[in-house]
Amino acid sequence: MVQWAFDGLLGLTLIWLAWRALASPDLFRAIVLFISFGLVMALAWVRLGGIDIALAEAAIGAGLTGALLLAAQARLEK
């Protein structure tokens, strides 16, 4: 029962985050939402049993891409 609730909330959060990140007019907010999306996506991969993909998602999605996008946004504003 609790596992179902956990998985359901995880999926809903994932979809909601993806939608907000795409629809956000403010670029910086979209980047922070994208980083949060990477975190929740890694949790979802763990629940699905893909630990290796969760590792890759944690390293690339939450760590590297976030920093790269922030640097790119700083260049855009100049």
Q: Say how many residues touch other proteins, by CB under 8 A.
A: 37
> How far, in Å, are 30, 37, 38, 44, 56 from residue 61 at the CA level?
14, 8, 5, 13, 8
Residue 37 CB coordination number (10 Å) = 22
Q: Does 6 bind other proteins (CB under 8 A)?
A: yes
Site for other proteins in 20-59 (CB under 8 A): 20, 28-29, 31-33, 35-36, 39-40, 42-43, 46-47, 51, 54-55, 58-59
Pull the structure tokens for residue 7: 């998985």
DSSP code of 49?
Answer: T
Residue ranges in contact with other proteins by CB under 8 A:
2-3, 5-6, 9-10, 13, 17, 20, 28-29, 31-33, 35-36, 39-40, 42-43, 46-47, 51, 54-55, 58-59, 62-64, 66-67, 70-71, 73-74, 77
